A and B are shown apart, each in its own frame.
Chain A
């Protein structure tokens, strides 16, 4: 039971890391290697709000999310749209976007270094024990996990319950056909990219309550996000959340039952297994 709950909490963290990339890669077809940096930027903002203004990280989401949305929309509009236009096929867009966002990651790191310095930043928020079924958990992790569930739930409701959501999923399945049935594909892609950035930054703000970060730690998150998105199936929100939870529980189980040193090995073993046996992802449909 302890393993399941600890794993769920870790899975919630991973879901926060991965959901943003899932939208960006799944719908806008941009393999955004700067997603980790967007997350760290969100964490920085929350840190700054907390230390400078004593604003709770949860409240700072109200600031972080819209700012990240606007920022990412501009990035897509001015930096990535030309790539999308120029790309002759999805493969080329993928390569171009990987290169462009890889460079963008360095720019983000540079800006954050210049703005905040390379120090570790860390603050205490809700470092309180909570008892669930006789075992103790940190309140800030529980809050982050609940927020992940809320964000994930809202995104799913929106994707599966509204007209815009349907349009977005249509773009995820096939941008060309979506355009043929009258969906404004460029606008949808921009929206998805901006939304993904907002989700990543919000995730960062929540994660900063319990992880110590510095300006150049983003790439670690990008790696985890990549693994989860590919395991869950590209553009599939339910798959990403499920993959995050499975990964969280697997890592916790290995750490508790076998050895904490093998958590990374376990994570990548699962990744390889998924690539070998279900390359389309847990929920994904085989490409036609």
Chain B
């Protein structure tokens, strides 16, 4: 076969494909916009938690024919923009989705700061904003100000309170002392968590023996781990971000910081964490969790792996997916792309999601996982504000 015939055949195949796809595209499509980092410092997090879930959801919905509207089935068409981890770009992209692409709905961006930055634009054009990867202590003020803004993953205090509760319980049971070494990354979420944890630890009668922050992107964390070790703590708590979660754990292994409780915040639940540290990750505590044993969750984890080719994380991944399920059910419940009606529907209904039932109270989901732990190669939820299936916390006994 020479090149020309190959080309002809390729052209014919394309044409044929177009004909087959023809009738489907003649039906309604529903346009969904998505803005989040594909490059820049947050890209590592979005590649795990954010984008794969959008891909999975769209693929699943379109595979079953699309969203069921009153006018018939509508397939989803996604328009994605990279905000380059720059809130300015994020705002511009949302504006563009609303005014030029005229999308029907927009997936909330990734990161607390980004969700807050775009909230006014979402509100201005009347888009519901189901913010997942946004954790703040300002939920009440924000939901009062923005009618379509919903929070799913919880508040800062809930996460610090979970750690306090775990420590106090272990202390009361006589399993650990009351000395806590606490470090935090000097960036938004880390600072907010540390500021919320400090008074909570003290109020609970825990003694903070080491309390330091370090800049984002610190290349050598060994002085911090050494300092913490010198303070001889019973528990090591790090309000950390992905790169330093890995870095602190590695240093703790090298310095054999053998506290009975070892907690690192964001990214502890990432598959890469278990992959890197293997059995050493056993009994490390982290922020957020899931119950991987429910049938819905098992189906989700399996589909995630099959469709996107990588494993979901043990925390926010499933909630991002749940937020899309909520959007899907609200759109189908209303039966049209009437955004005001969809927002009202989200406020007044209970949704069956992969995380379990979700109901919004004052635009806030109050039932969520707050802490998890690596146990025998799996990351499991150990503390929540009312989700069933929490596993008991295990003490860490060295790094082996």
- Central interface residue in B44, B48, B278, by most chain A CB within 10 Å: B44
Known: A137-B254, A261-B212. A120 touches B224 (CB 8 A): no
User: Contact at A252–B254, with CB atoms within 8 Å?
Assistant: no
Partner of A214, one of B43, B214, B218: B43
Which positions 231-262 of chain B face chain A at CB distance < 8 Å?
Answer: 242-243, 246-247, 250-251, 253-256
Residue A122 interfacial (CB < 8 Å): yes
B23 proximal to A (CB < 8 A): no
Min Cβ gap B264→A in Å is 12
A127 touches B47 (CB 8 A): no
Docked pose: A263 CA to B215 CA in angstroms: 8
Judging by beta carbons under 8 Å apart, are B40 and A216 in contact? yes
Q: Which of B29-46 contact A (CB under 8 A)?
A: 38-41, 43-44, 46
Residues of B within 8 A of A212 (CB): 242-243, 246-247, 276
Q: Is B146 an interface residue (CB 8 A)?
A: no
Q: Whose C-beta in chain A lies nearest to the C-beta of B278?
A: A124
Known: A6-B220, A118-B43. A264 touches B215 (CB 8 A): yes
Choose from A127, A136, A224 the contact partner of B250 (Cβ within 8 Å).
A127
Does A251 sit within 8 A of B, measured CB to CB? yes
With A and B bound together, what is the CA distance between A255 and B228 in angstroms? 12
For residue B365, CB closer than 8 A to chain A, the reply is: no
Which residues 1-18 of A have a CB within 8 angstroms of B? 2, 6, 9-10, 13
Residues of B with C-beta under 8 A to A123? 276
A255 x B254 contact (CB < 8 A): no
A120 touches B48 (CB 8 A): yes
Pick the contact of B214: A136, A138, A215, A261 (CB < 8 A): A261
- Tell me the bound Cα distance from A215 to B38 in angstroms: 10
CA A121 to CA B48, docked complex, whole Å = 11
Residues of B within 8 A of A248 (CB): 220
- CB of B388, distance to nearest CB on chain A (Å): 31
Q: A138 touches which one: B46, B223, B250 (CB < 8 A)?
A: B250
Chain B residues with CB below 8 A from A224, complex form: 219
B201 contacts the other chain (CB 8 A)? no
Of B220, B255, B272, most buried by chain A (CB within 10 Å of CB) is B220
Query: By the criterion CB–CB under 8 Å, are B220 and A118 in contact?
Result: no
Within 8 A of B (CB), among A173-189: none
In the complex, whether A283 has a CB less than 8 A from a CB of chain B is: no
A9, A119, A252: which contacts B47 (Cβ < 8 A)?
A119
Of all chain A residues, the one with the shortest Cβ separation from B45 is A120
Asked whether B361 is an interface residue with its Cβ less than 8 Å from the other chain, the reply is no
Q: Does B186 lie at the interface of the complex (its beta carbon under 8 Å from any beta carbon of A)?
A: yes
Q: Are A261 and B247 in contact (CB under 8 A)?
A: no
Most A CB within 10 A of own CB, among B46, B51, B186, B246:
B246
Closest Cβ of chain B to A200, distance in Å, is: 16
B227 at the interface (CB under 8 A from A): yes
Interface string of B203-224 (1 = CB under 8 A from A): 0000000001111011110111
Tell me the count of chain A residues lying within 8 A, CB to CB, of chain B.
45
Interface pair A120/B256, CB less than 8 Å apart: no
Contact A138 B270 (CB under 8 A): no
Determine the chain A residues whose CB is within 8 A of the CB of B220 once the complex forms. 6, 9-10, 13, 141, 248, 251-252, 255
B223 touches A211 (CB 8 A): no
List, in ascending order, chain A residues with CB within 8 A of B219's CB: 10, 13, 211, 224
Q: Which residues from A are CB-within-8-Å of B276?
A: 122-124, 212
Q: Judging by beta carbons under 8 Å apart, are B246 and A122 in contact?
A: yes
Q: How far is the CA of A123 from the CA of B273 in the complex (A)?
A: 9
Bound-state Cα–Cα, A51 to B38, Å: 24
Is B360 interfacial (CB 8 A cutoff)?
Answer: no
Question: A190 vs B187: C-alpha distance in the bound complex, in angstroms?
Answer: 41
Given A122-B246, A260-B223: A220 touches B217 (CB 8 Å cut-off): yes
* Pairwise interchain contact B227-A256, C-beta atoms closer than 8 A: yes
Provide the residues of chain B in CB contact with A213, threshold 8 Å.
Answer: 243
Contacts of A128 in B (CB 8 A): 254
List, in ascending order, chain A residues with CB within 8 A of B85's CB: 216
- Interchain CB contact under 8 A, B272 and A127: no
Q: Mark B44-82, 1 if CB is under 8 A from A, else 0.
A: 101110010000000000000000000000000000000
Contact of A211 among B247, B254, B310 (CB under 8 A): B247
How far, in angstroms, from A137 to B220 measured CA to CA in the complex?
Answer: 11
CB-contact partner of B43 in A9, A13, A113, A135, under 8 A: A113
Q: Is A102 an interface residue (CB 8 A)?
A: no
Asked if residues A127 and B310 are in contact (CB atoms below 8 Å), the reply is no
What chain B residues lie within 8 Å of A110 (beta carbons)? Answer: 39
> Do B272 and A119 touch (CB < 8 A)?
yes
Cβ-based interface call for A117 (8 A) = yes
> Do the beta carbons of A217 and B41 come within 8 Å of each other?
yes
Chain B residues with CB under 8 Å of A2's CB are 226
The list of the 9 closest CB pairs from A to B, nearest first, reads: A118-B47, A214-B44, A212-B246, A255-B223, A260-B214, A118-B43, A138-B254, A120-B44, A10-B220
Known: A113-B43, A118-B43. 11 other contacts (CB 8 A): A110-B39, A118-B39, A119-B47, A127-B254, A212-B276, A216-B39, A216-B85, A252-B223, A259-B213, A260-B212, A260-B215
Q: Name B residues whose Cβ lies closer than 8 Å to a Cβ of A.
A: 38-41, 43-44, 46-48, 51, 85, 183, 186, 212-215, 217-220, 222-224, 226-227, 242-243, 246-247, 250-251, 253-256, 267, 270, 272, 276-278, 310
Name 29 A/B residue pairs within 8 A (Cβ), A-sorted: A109-B39, A113-B38, A117-B310, A118-B39, A118-B51, A120-B243, A122-B276, A124-B278, A129-B256, A135-B226, A136-B254, A136-B255, A138-B250, A210-B250, A211-B219, A212-B242, A212-B243, A213-B243, A217-B41, A220-B217, A255-B214, A256-B223, A259-B212, A260-B213, A260-B218, A260-B224, A261-B213, A261-B215, A263-B214
